[in-house]
Structure 1
Amino acid sequence: MATIWDVAKLAGVSKSTVSRVMNNGSVSEEARKAVLDAIKKLNYQPSCFAKNIRTQKSMTIAFMIPDASNFFYTEMFKAIEQVAYEREYMVILCDTQNSTEAELAYAEKLLQRRIDGLIYCTYKMDKQAQEYFVSLSRKLPVVFADYSFHIYDDISLVATEGYTSSRNAVRFLYHKGCRHIAYINFPRDVQVTNPRYEGYLKGLEDCGLVPDPNLTYFPPSERTMSARDMGFNGAKHILSSGVKVDAIMAAADPIAMGAIKYLKFQGIKIPEQIKVIGFDNNGVCE
């Protein structure tokens, strides 16, 4: 593999001249042409490591997610990577499997790699993780994605409008003739749970429907349970109670997929017998 010294020797210039050419510095046109010709002839690829030391940038950002099987995050990753690629950045994907321990361990390893920024997603953030990542955001660009804070006004975040979307979903089902709308949520301690559930309740109120506790399912707070399992178990729990159901609303598309799996297992026709609506508009659910 050719080195910068090889380029300098072939071009008949100094190493510093080659460096100036590569960084668009001031050199004569004759020297610039000689260096560029040598680079092309030798197929020289500059060392990213050396460049990182010089510029103090790794051109790398990290995307930390709680569940790689959730298509919401894989679609986010695709969009993030496309934008990063256009700007000559690389993206490191970290699947924490909804573990605070893994989140903190990944963060330390990423800092050792001198990443330039972090996009952080989590289902729920305990006090330890919250203090760590908020503190980290004071030293490194961090974007909290699909997570909202009410106690910090100096952090960067991007979140979906869960309340309005859930409210509209209930009204949509009502206009489709549904009057017994079940709701399968995330565990109560998952941050996105409350606004989406409150939107569901407001949607019922808009339609003149009375909330029925038997039509609502909150999974236990188990970090290892997948969203699909939440949907499967939720549909099973609600339908096994004997309550009448003509629609199931899920707090996320993977939850809806789990519910659909259970309904099909029971031979229930969708949407003829029970309609199902999710949240996130994942392409796989089309």
Structure 2
Amino acid sequence: MKPIPAKASKTDEIKKNRARMLISCPDGPGIVAAVSRFLSEQGANIVQSDQYTMDPEGGMFFIRIEFDLPDILSHIEKLKQDFQAVADQFQMNWSVHLAGQKKRLAIFVSKEDHCLLELLWQWHAGDLYADIAMVISNHEDMRELVESFEIPYHYIPVTADTKAEAERKHLEIIDEDVDTLILARYMQIVSPQFLKHYPNRIINIHHSFLPAFVGGKPYAQAHNRGVKLIGATAHYVTEELDGGPIIEQDVERVSHRDNVDDLKRIGRHIERIVLARAVSWHVEDRILVHENKTIVFI
């Protein structure tokens, strides 16, 4: 099979001097003015700004700003250092990300290919602005598919007895080469020890509209309950099973005529779209996590 390389993104030139600032802090007057003034003094031009306040619930304020700054690679470290004074004034939790610096992904998959294929297709088309560093699986089934895209494929079997050793191998392979892990229907529960290495950087797709039908066989659970809507949920992984901050969800109408296999077939379409959206928003720095919720600027 002929290799399928990723297409060069048309947005590379636009992103060359662009950065994104994400801020969460207690709400109060002067936050937007202080940030805007700081960026202006640095010679930056704000091209997009989104904000949200929880006031009066919790009184937290969230903002995402995209800005252009000529020769940004030479200035980014000083900009971060100088901004700390503003951050301290408003008790900010903040980060700055270079828009042109692609996040590197490791995709975990088991036997079902639909979510993996959606990510590969979007990456190949240039619609997913990221680098897929590798695919890791507990089965060999996807090797030929993945390697046709010239992406490294790692087969690491997992059993109850070998889970700890398998996760040690995962960390060894990933090392510092990967920013974010994607569980694209990877049918294994990740241990709390593993999660500590990637807080809010592991995205899972769960094949139900959470919080309904947590855990295994959600389509069978949904069928037994006689639901009229089924859905899928992309969320960050935490120690609570299927309980992490929700990034994206969608649903599809079903009826009493649909059996469990019908629900699975319909659900596959929802799963792949929901996961792809969540991954795209994550790599574009559109998500802020607060407690067990997300603020998604889209």
Q: Same-fold call, TM > 0.5?
A: no
Using CA pairs under 8 Å that are at least 6 residues apart, name the structure with larger relative contact order, 1 or 2: 2
Structure with a larger share of its residues in strand = 2
**In which range does the TM-score fall when normalised by the shorter chain?**
0.3 to 0.5
Higher helix share: 1
Whichever of the two has the greater Rg, that structure is: 1
